[in-house]
Amino acid sequence: MPPNPPHFLSTYDYVIVGAGTAGCVLANRLSADASKRVLLLEAGGVDDWMWIHIPVGYLFCIGNPRTDWCYKTEVEARLNGRSIAYPRGKTLGGSSSINAMIYMRGQARDYDEWAALTGDTGWAWRNVFPVFKQSENHFAGNSDLHGAAGEWRVEEQRLDWDVLHAWQAAAAECGIAPTADFNGGDNTGSAWFQVNQRMGTRWSCAKAFLRPVKARANLTVLTKALATKICIVGDGEHQRAVGVEYLRNGEKHFAAATCEVLLASGAINTPQLLQLSGVGNAAHLHPLGIAVVHDLPGVGENLQDHLQMRLAYKVHGIRTLNEWYHTWRGKLHMAAQFALLRRGPLTMAPSQLGAFAKSDPTQTSANLQYHVQPLSLDKFGEPLHTFPAITMSVCNLRPTSRGHVRLKRDDATAAPAITLNYLSTKVDQRIAVDALKLTRRIAAAPALAHLRPQEFMPGTAFQTDEALLDAAGNIGTTIFHPVGSCKMGRADDASAVVDSRLRVRGIGGLRIIDASIMPTITSGNTNSPTLMIAERGAAMVIDDAKVRC
């Protein structure tokens, strides 16, 4: 309990901060024990807005303060001095309520690398693979590759585009062959993305894991509740987290945790809350007037993201969403398809076709990911173009650039400084240039010739390697995959924030269970890997409680 406790006090066994992907899983699994009292705090509101549930509604959710934190990065030197919008979900379900809905595990090598970096084989692919299956409710039923008994619904997309089939054929002509499924540990090849939807509507983690258990008497879910500080008592090697202060309806509250405080606020908000609580790099906290409770230099460091480079091409003689969207007849058709059949463009994930490839033959596995779309726009939140076009987005799956999340001031309501340092290493610069060249080879392949593709983003004026790197800075943007800012690692890794059981170093009763603990980013979309982390983290909490709580 804090030295001067707020007027409003409550006591629970577990206090979970953040009702995003990880928080919803934790609330479900921990409250299954009726003897444990669980509090789930969410800074955003209830997920009751129509556009959260209509898949194409991400266009209205991203950049909207109702559902998005609406962060912006600091100015990025290698993005040619641009600051970019940095969406993060702010509602029940978190980013799973506004994201691309793509079901992706990554590559086996990702998790084997985690095992090597942490010294814990529990994170190896052979051991996390069953955890992915455990959560999954796959449309094709149980198989060697997929599970069907879990809550996390995975379905095929409910629409088709000839222009994407043409792109897939062109990719095959450039050595990227079609594959049946991206989720077996090697995602090389091209395929239509499988998505987290149920019958054409978004299937968020709030729907999958939270709604079915919200009526449990031992589970309390509070929305519009902004965590402002973790209360830590003791000194030296005997410090312990005992609760969380939060603001709700303009009043300060305190929730005591008799077992553990569990941070599940993601790669931006989790390090922010730790720093506000005096846990972080003393050199960064002292100038802000924050009393240092625990000098932990890795907090907020090691931030990683996939930089997406969006190349766009005008096409001819084939339908894309652009021209369909710009007619009343097209809009009415789309609305009718969704209302009557739960099919058509309103069920679209942001990307329909995906591909994984090597930027050059020396790569040990696919290090590029494509998100291919039958549409084009200048940026999310702006109207589609009026002419037929296709977007070929490509990202480096394993960037070597590292950024950080740091407080600007001692204020929980103020956005932190988010710096990605995109393209800050020679390796990342080389891969960006190679990725643009490969994309142009695909666009020039015979299978697309009948569509007469014309590049207009970034434009054909960029030809030399130096010019292409400049072009990457012009068109590069986030693909919404921030991870790693509170990484797990071995005891001798001074930059590690948590151990392999996700316990914060040097503070008892405090665990981080979200994407921030990834030591390295996964080779693909990061939402389902975060869900897997939450499943493993929940099991660890339950197991440890048998002895300590």
Q: Counting every residue, how long is the chain?
A: 549
Longest Cα separation, the chain: 73
C-alpha span between 248 and 222 (Å, rounded): 9
Q: Which uninterrupted H or E stretch holds 546?
A: helix 527-548
C-alpha span between 502 and 537 (Å, rounded): 7
Residue given tokens 């556009």 in the structure block: 51
Find, among 159, 208, 149, 111, the residue nearest to 533 by Cα: 111
Residues 21, 226, 295, CA angle at the centre, nearest 5°? Answer: 85
End-to-end CA distance of the chain: 17
Question: How many Å separate Cα 355 from the centre of its chain?
Answer: 19
Residues 6+ apart with CB under 8 A from 482: 86, 88, 266, 267, 268, 303, 304, 305, 418, 515
Q: Which amino acid, 274?
A: L
**In degrees rounded to 5, what are phi and psi of residue 184?**
-100, 10
At 451, is the secondary structure helix, strand, or coil? helix
C-alpha span between 102 and 182 (Å, rounded): 11
**Cα dihedral value 177, 179, 183, 187, nearest 10:** -10
Q: Encoding tokens for residue 213?
A: 């258990």
C-alpha span between 255 and 244 (Å, rounded): 5
Cβ(313)–Cβ(392) under 8 Å?
Answer: yes
Residues known to be catalytic: 481
**Cα dihedral value 460, 523, 182, 358, nearest 10:** 50
Other Cβ atoms within 10 Å of 45 Cβ, number: 14
Cβ(40)–Cβ(263) under 8 Å?
Answer: no
Find, among 157, 163, 401, the residue nearest to 301 by Cα: 401
Cβ(64)–Cβ(40) under 8 Å?
Answer: no
Q: Which amino acid, 177?
A: A
* DSSP conformation letters of 44-93: SB-S--HHHHSGGGHHHHTT-TTTB--EEPPPBGGGTTB--EE--B-BTT
Cβ(45)–Cβ(66) under 8 Å?
Answer: yes
